[in-house]
Amino acid sequence: MSYVTKSPWVIHYDGSSCNGCDIEVLACLTPMYDVERFGIINTGNPKHADVFLVTGSVNEQNKGVVKQIYEQMPEPKVVVAVGICANNGGIFRECYNIMGGVDTVIPVDVYVPGCAARPEAIIDGVVKGLGVLEEKRKALASGQLTAPAAPEESEQAEEQEAASEENGTEKVEEKEEA
């Protein structure tokens, strides 16, 4: 975890989630899981935030809200889609008022699976996102990154690797120490 030198602030928006993932996101902040030990703070102001946690899929009415929050966040920024609904619509995929995953509206960097996503998985996803954030910061500094890139298939595959990657084991060790 040596690359976590900053204190990333997250903003959370509930798309059309069932609350299951939302209360797990909140559970991450509370004493049992306590993401604040990584310096992560939940903020309500998009202009203060580095990481955008979205739960639930997007629909006609909230796509503008999601877009607006994303656009207000300063660069570099990372979007973490929490739960299967935010990934691709999940069980509600066939509903008439569901457009699909969050990536239909804004680019997503990390996909966290689960229904509901477990707090451990959410923390893993955010930590993974911090790696992306650092890369984006470097790219931004060197002038390589200008506009946010469109989401690509490869990112999903990357996320699947995330579960087995060392991030996960590292996190568990950290937890034991804490």
- Chain residues binding another protein by CB under 8 A are 13-24, 26-27, 30-32, 43-46, 56-57, 59-62, 65, 69, 91-92, 94-99, 115-116, 118
CB of 158 to another protein, least distance (A): 27
CB 93 within 8 A of CB 126: no
CB of 112 to another protein, least distance (A): 15
- Residue among 24 and 124 whose Cβ is closer to another protein: 24
* Secondary structure element (H or E) that encloses residue 20, with its range: helix 20-29
Task: Give the pair of three-digit tokens for residue 83.
Answer: 């739960």
CB of 124 to another protein, least distance (A): 16
- Residue among 138 and 175 whose Cβ is closer to another protein: 175
Task: Give the pair of three-digit tokens for residue 156.
Answer: 């999903």
**Residues forming beta bridges with residue 2, ordered by sequence position:** none
CA gap 44, 155 in Å, rounded? 27
